[in-house]
Amino acid sequence: MSQSDFVARFGGVYEHSPWVAERAAQHLGTSMDFDQIAALMADCVDNASYEQQLELIRAHPDLAGRAQVAGELTEASTEEQSSAGLDRCSSEEYERFQSLNDAYKKKFGFPFVMAVRNSSRSEILEAFARRLENDPALEFETALVEIHKIARMRLEAIGLAQ
C-alpha cells in the first residue's frame, strides 16, 4: 500500500488527527499486519511532542455532549457513543454528563476520553467520577491509553482484523 493510500484509509483512526497516519505511513513495511499497524500508529502518538498529544486529546468530543446532540460528531464517534447508549440518556443522565464534562475540563484542560464501546452509561459515569480524582499527569496518560484503545477498535472496524 502506498503512503498516500495508507493516509486516505487510516487518516481518521485518531480523532481529527491525520498526522498520526501521515507519520506512520513513512515507516510502512511491505507486509504489515493489523498488530504492526496498530503498534506503529500508537508509537507515532507516544513519540509526539506533549503539545501534539494534548491537541490529540482535545480533538475528542465530550461524551453525551452538545456536539452529539447537535449531530456534529464524526461518524466513528457517533457510532461509538451510540453503541454505549449515550444517544439515549435520560434527562438526569444527560445533566450528569454535562456536569462531569464541565468539571473534568476545568480540572484537566481537556475532555474526558474513554473507549466507550461495550460499556454501559452507568459504567462510563462511574469511570468519569473516579478519574476526576486522578492527578493531571496520570489523567493525561490515561487519556492517551484510552485513545489507543479507540484507535485499535477503529482499525478493526476498517477491516484489518483477521
Annotated catalytic residue within 16, 27, 60, 148:
60
Write down the CATH number for the domain with range 60-158: 1.10.3330.10
Nearest to 22 by CA among 11, 33, 9, 38: 11
pLDDT at 161: 42
pLDDT at 67: 61
CB atoms within 10 A of CB 33: 12
77: Cβ contacts below 8 Å, ≥ 6 apart: 15, 60, 61, 68
pLDDT at 100: 97
Q: Rounded to an integer, what distance in angstroms lies between the CA atom of residue 131 and that of residue 73?
A: 23
Q: Rounded to an integer, what distance in angstroms lies between the CA atom of residue 110 and that of residue 155?
A: 24
Answer yes or no: 16 catalytic.
Answer: no
pLDDT beneath 50: ranges in the chain:
161-162
pLDDT at 70: 61
pLDDT at 16: 95
Contact 124, 84 (CB under 8 A): yes
Q: Chain centroid to CA 79: how far?
A: 12
SS3 label, residue 31? coil
pLDDT at 13: 96
Domain ranges for the chain, please list them. 3-54, 60-158
In the chain, alpha helices (H):
3-10, 19-25, 34-46, 50-58, 66-69, 75-83, 91-108, 121-131, 136-158
